[in-house]
Amino acid sequence: MNLPELANPRILEQPIYQPGKPIEQVAREHGFDVGEVCKLASNENPWGSSPLAMEAGRQALQAIFLYPEGSGLALREKLAQIHGLDANQFILGNGSNEIIELLGHVFLQPGDEVVVGEHAFVVYKLVALLMGAKVVEVEMPRLTHDLNLMWQSITDRTKLVFLPSPNNPTGTANTAQEIDSFVRSLPEHVVFCLDEAYAEYLEEPFDLRPYAREGRKVLGMRTFSKIYGLAGLRIGYGYGSPEMIGLLQQARQPFNANSVAQACAIGALGDSDWVETCRRRNRAGLEQIRVGCSAIGLEVVPSQANFLLVKVGDGKAVFEKLLARGIITRPMSQALSEFLRISIGTEEQNERVLLALEQILQQDSTDT
Ligand SMILES: *Cc1c(COP(=O)(O)O)cnc(C)c1O
């Protein structure tokens, strides 16, 4: 018997997540110094992380020979204070991606159905497939989640519904009114997960906390990877009713969130000025890219996050041409192959990607 024959067949069929290309690899392959490469591929914070977060991390390094406090009580207490919930309404994850996996472990069995948008963040689908659940992909007219269509896709076998708002990679968000009526209309046997990875970029994010307080079957998920600038540490959290969180706690590994990450997250939460500055700069950057693209005749999908989809024609080809200029963006899969996802960078980085796009377009038009 060979090794793959011994494997869970679902592992053999599992689609592979394609992350943004690392800076070092692009530098090596295209002959740049690391400092010359500009990465606008993973929606990281181009301004780095809060100085308060980094200071907290330096302090925490003194004690990395000790195991972390398993449940992350100090961070959960801080979150409880900020959100007006109890500490037992929060669970930490090794990135919020881990929380998605925990949802799968807690709720999914083979034959269950998971409802997602056709262009939703892909990790929901990966987790559902791994658990042997059926993924029901719902059309997204104008690249936005259509909550009526999603509601119509719910059956007796539906266990989980995921809504990322704003969504990655489309950048589109749903209104508070839409989300409210959707949540209230869900049948008793369905768990609703609102992925708020980009909520801090919204002017008025939807407030899921009242639903968690009412004990509804909802889970909100947030991350420190995006506006908080801690993507390398892998820390995120989920919140919901104490019952919901209790079930998720049962499924996690004993020390899933590391001590340095917990400390940095507490530091980051104490620096709301930093978050506000990044939100403001991001909004200016979105506008810069939108205006710049329009000036060279490129359509963009209106975004409420820290990235946007640009319609470039042959996404893979333009991705490669940008790589050759030391700029990493994110090509899309088949369904969105005309688009490229570009994360908002610093003003300088945005300028650089716009100039490169203009040159590529000009070159393409003289070639034909
Ligand atoms: C980036 C992102 C996440 C969070 O990822 P982490 O595991 O916390 O780094 C979750 N959902 C969406 C939609 C994202 O884009």
Arithmetic mean of pLDDT, 241-258: 97
Identify the pLDDT of residue 244: 98
- The pTM assigned to this predicted structure is 0.96
Q: Is the pLDDT of residue 219 over 70?
A: yes
Q: Where are the alpha helices (DSSP H) in the chain?
A: 3-6, 9-13, 23-30, 51-61, 73-83, 96-107, 123-130, 147-152, 176-185, 209-213, 242-251, 259-269, 272-295, 315-324, 347-367
- Ligand 1 near 274 CB (within 6 A): no
Could you tell me the distance, in angstroms and rounded to a whole number, from the CA of residue 166 to the centre of ligand 1? 11
Ligand 1: nearest atom to the Cα of 43 = 1
Arithmetic mean of pLDDT, 349-363: 96
Could you tell me the distance, in angstroms and rounded to a whole number, from the CA of residue 364 to the centre of ligand 1? 35
Question: How far is the C-alpha of 333 from the C-alpha of 221, rounded, in Å?
Answer: 25
Asked if 227 and 203 touch (Cβ cutoff 8 Å), the reply is no
- Ligand 1 near 265 CB (within 6 A): no
- Ligand 1 near 164 CB (within 6 A): yes
Could you tell me the distance, in angstroms and rounded to a whole number, from the CA of residue 115 to the centre of ligand 1? 18
Alpha carbon separation from 252 to 75, 98, 104 (Å, rounded): 17, 9, 11
Identify the pLDDT of residue 18: 85
Asked if 248 and 267 touch (Cβ cutoff 8 Å), the reply is no
Q: Which one of 43, 226, 264, 308 would you pick to mutate in the ligand 1 pocket, going by the greatest count of ligand atoms within 8 A of its CB?
A: 226
Q: What domains lie within the chain, and their CATH numbers?
A: 3-48+273-363 (3.90.1150.10), 51-270 (3.40.640.10)
Could you tell me the distance, in angstroms and rounded to a whole number, from the CA of residue 96 to the centre of ligand 1? 6
The residue nearest atom 11 of ligand 1, judged by CA position, is 197
Arithmetic mean of pLDDT, 57-64: 98
Q: Which one of 91, 97, 98 would you pick to mutate in the ligand 1 pocket, going by the greatest count of ligand atoms within 8 A of its CB?
A: 97
Find residue 158's DSSP bridge partners.
113
- Ligand 1 near 225 CB (within 6 A): yes
Identify the pLDDT of residue 368: 65
Q: Is the pLDDT of residue 237 over 80?
A: yes
- Ligand 1 near 95 CB (within 6 A): yes
Question: How far is the C-alpha of 320 from the C-alpha of 87, rounded, in Å?
Answer: 47
pLDDT per residue over 164-189, tens digit each? 999 999 999 999 999 999 999 999 99
Arithmetic mean of pLDDT, 284-301: 97
Asked if 137 and 160 touch (Cβ cutoff 8 Å), the reply is no
- Ligand 1 near 144 CB (within 6 A): no
Could you tell me the distance, in angstroms and rounded to a whole number, from the CA of residue 366 to the centre of ligand 1? 40
Task: Give the CA dihedral 133, 41, 118, 185, nearest 10 degrees.
Answer: 80
